[in-house]
Chains A and B, each alone.
Chain A
């Protein structure tokens, strides 16, 4: 039988009020490549403060692998979880824009300051030696 279910935020009588004051924050950065990426290269892109709850990330990359059979994959995560938000994306093989796409990756609460990091989880077959990578993170500091 179908049921109506509630998250803890919507449970009747929990005292949680619909709020108008939950502000979003954002931080963006660019990184200009000076050499082709190699396997396990790591780019620290933006700093995330302690207490932040990450809601979304937007990764914007040009074509970084000009080979006819490109191999580059990119991941986005944080210290100790390098594929937490975007895992082994092929977006850099032709250029494109991708967002947080790992199930369970949203609403990550950072208890301590950290950085969001892009890693080359597979090396390019023929890596581009220049290009600008952009990363935007959207988060809230409200509980």
Chain B
């Protein structure tokens, strides 16, 4: 028989709130040489207490690899693939937008809360066949400081 359930946020006594703000931080990195295996680019700083809601990684239109080898993660020092792992976007000289729900994004990674300041990092886990020698990598992260 069908039932009706409630999350903790929908229970009686919890007011619908209008004051839960959303913050964003954006970073870009211009690479002037081909990326190599185990390169790490710290893209943005995240404050302690932040809950990550959404992010958008913008891979330049020229891609990262003229071939089909590059693999990368998006995460932090404690978990290099916290938000995305095994990503293959940026191959064959093609740009891409990568976000939660894209290939490689990690299911269950939304609403991750940082208890200490950290950075969100782009991490090359497999070198490109022939790396694109120049481009701008961009990352925007949306988060809240409210509980």
Q: Hey, which bits of chain A sit against chain B, CB under 8 A?
A: 23-31, 38-52, 58, 60-62, 95-99, 113, 115, 120, 132, 134-136, 138, 141
Contact = CB atoms under 8 A, between A and B. Distances in A.
Query: Which of A29, A98, A99, A120 gathers the greatest number of chain B CB atoms within 10 Å?
Result: A29
Interface string B109-141: 111000000000000000000000000000000
Interface of B: 1-10, 14-22, 51, 53-54, 100-101, 105, 107-111, 142, 144, 146
Contacts of B51: 28
A63 to B, nearest CB: 8
Given A25-B19, A52-B18, A97-B100, A40 B10 contact: no
Contacts of A25: 17-22
A96 B108 contact: no
A41 B105 contact: no
Contact of B110 (A23, A27, A97, A115): A97
B14 A99 contact: no
**Which 8 A-B pairs rank lowest in CB-CB distance, beginning with the nearest?**
A40-B2, A29-B9, A47-B16, A44-B10, A49-B16, A29-B7, A97-B101, A24-B22
A136 B110 CA distance: 8
Contacts of B9: 27-29, 45-47
B51 to A, nearest CB: 7
Contact of B10 (A24, A115, A134, A138): A115
Contact of A45 (B10, B16, B142): B10
Given A29-B10, A138-B142, 15 more contacts: A27-B17, A28-B53, A31-B7, A38-B1, A41-B4, A42-B2, A44-B6, A44-B10, A47-B10, A58-B101, A62-B107, A97-B101, A134-B110, A136-B111, A138-B54
- Secondary structure at the A interface, as helix, strand, loop or mixed, is strand
A27 B20 contact: yes
Nearest to A52: B18
A60 B14 contact: no
